[in-house]
Amino acid sequence: GAGRTEAMRAIIGADKLQKGTVYLRGKAIVNHDPHQAMLSGIVMVPEDRKTQGILGNLDVADNITISLLDKHSNRFGVLDTSEEATIAQKGIEEFKIRTPSPHKKILELSGGNQQKCIVARWMATNPKVLILDEPTKGIDIGAKAEFYAMICAFAKQGIGVILVSSEMSEVLGLSDRIIVMRARKISGELTATDATEDKVLALAMAEE
């Protein structure tokens, strides 16, 4: 009920923006749908992996390359399958996706590896901003550690990472700037150097 996910969905155009303006590198932009947001350079890994992230009827390779269909097809709609195979293999190797084959059904992978496929899909678009909504939800401790390392690596590459998380350790351990939401409004903002668990909780429970 805090409104965090709804705010992120509005940024990428999945939900209608009621008010406010989205700025990317100082320029106001309007995203009417997630595809337009992707073209602008903003992508999102959703919280609900099973219903909004993976394409369960497709294999690992197709799940990674699905966002690049326009780029990898000619004007007649014919796909360059060799290019797709190269992108898929690169994603598998770069994000250490544990799968016996690119053609393994994604539903047969662990939750952490499914999540890596979604991240690989959006990173293949060379985004300027990556929104991660509860990226470690439902995955094991080992996979969480890999995701934490990935998030830091993305930031070092100059990608703007917006991490939505309800886990205090993630918020305090990974953030440069923390924005706390309550009842669909921003209740406060903290820098990483000033943030403590008590301060974050106080903002999360603050009265309107």
pTM equals: 0.89
Model pLDDT for residues 76-91, shown as the tens digit of each residue: 566 667 788 888 999 9
Percentage with pLDDT > 90 across the chain: 69
Model pLDDT for residues 89-128, shown as the tens digit of each residue: 999 999 999 999 999 999 999 989 999 999 999 999 999 9
Can you spell out the DSSP letters for 62-118?
A: HHHHGGGTTTTB-TT--B-HHHHHHHHHHHHHHTT---S-TTSBGGGS-HHHHHHHH
Give the pLDDT band (50/70/90) at residue 190.
Answer: very high
Burial call 1-25: b when 16+ CB within 10 Å, e when fewer:
ebebbebbbbbbbbeeeeeeebebe
